[in-house]
């Protein structure tokens, strides 16, 4: 697919014509397709984990931990999809509105709103770490283990003095 953008008044815009009308609808379709893929592979992963566990039955205590892990995985998927939808959808709506009503593209209020939606779109790509650590107990535990290891390695060290040298390690 050829990409046709021009810079007008130091603003990068799609070239006028078919591409300017096609681009917003393509990116919106791509957005919804990615949401469907996230949901499809998330549920597919959950189904695969459950089917593998049915093949090998463990002790009852392990089953309770596994059920808790499954619910955390589904909660993680749900939070990820909701965050992605709520933060990226406004940008795609503004793209479709801008393609449908091209006179709005020069309106300063619409440009301001579209810039805010771009910030939300960028935020939707950066929020995964926070969604994972706030949602799943496993991620929190691993994050705390990592921070504990970094702390013991770099902050809890005793200085080592090498005699005959002027440096302290």
Residue 28's alpha-carbon distances to 55, 89, 96, 160, in angstroms, are 41, 8, 8, 59
pLDDT at 158: 64
Residue 99 within a domain: yes
pLDDT at 109: 92
> 6 near 13, Cβ under 8 Å?
yes
Number of domains in the chain: 1
pLDDT at 57: 58
pLDDT at 75: 81
Separation between Cα atoms, residue 127 and residue 139, nearest integer Å: 14
Mean of all residue pLDDT scores within the chain: 78
Q: Which domain holds residue 31?
A: 4-52+64-152
Residue 112 within a domain: yes
Q: What is the mean pLDDT of each run of 10 residues along the chain (169 residues)?
A: 68 70 80 86 78 60 61 81 89 87 85 92 86 79 87 73 56
pLDDT at 155: 77
Residue 61's alpha-carbon distances to 57, 71, 138, in angstroms, are 11, 16, 17
Residue 27 within a domain: yes
pLDDT at 74: 80
Structure tokens at 5: 């953008």
Residue 160 within a domain: no
pLDDT at 112: 93
Of residues 133, 164, 132, the one with CA closest to residue 147: 133
Residue 108 within a domain: yes
pLDDT at 68: 66
Residue 21 within a domain: yes
Residue 57 within a domain: no
Residue 93 within a domain: yes
pLDDT at 1: 46
Separation between Cα atoms, residue 72 and residue 79, nearest integer Å: 10
Separation between Cα atoms, residue 112 and residue 118, nearest integer Å: 10
pLDDT at 134: 79
């Amino acid at each position: 697919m050829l990409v046709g953008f021009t810079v007008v008044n130091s603003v990068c815009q799609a070239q006028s014509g078919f591409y300017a009308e096609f681009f917003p609808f393509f990116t919106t379709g791509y957005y919804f397709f990615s949401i469907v893929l996230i949901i499809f592979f998330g549920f597919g992963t959950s189904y695969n984990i459950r089917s593998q566990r049915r093949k090998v039955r463990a002790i009852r205590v392990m089953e309770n931990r596994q059920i808790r892990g499954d619910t955390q995985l589904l909660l993680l998927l749900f939070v990820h999809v909701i965050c992605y939808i709520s933060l990226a959808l406004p940008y795609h709506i503004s793209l479709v509105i801008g393609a449908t009503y091209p006179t709005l593209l020069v309106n300063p209020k619409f440009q301001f709103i579209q810039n805010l939606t771009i910030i939300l779109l960028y935020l939707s790509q950066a929020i995964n770490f926070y969604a994972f650590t706030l949602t799943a107990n496993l991620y929190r535990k691993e994050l705390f283990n990592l921070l504990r290891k970094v702390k013991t390695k770099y902050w809890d060290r005793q200085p080592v003095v090498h005699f005959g040298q002027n440096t302290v390690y």
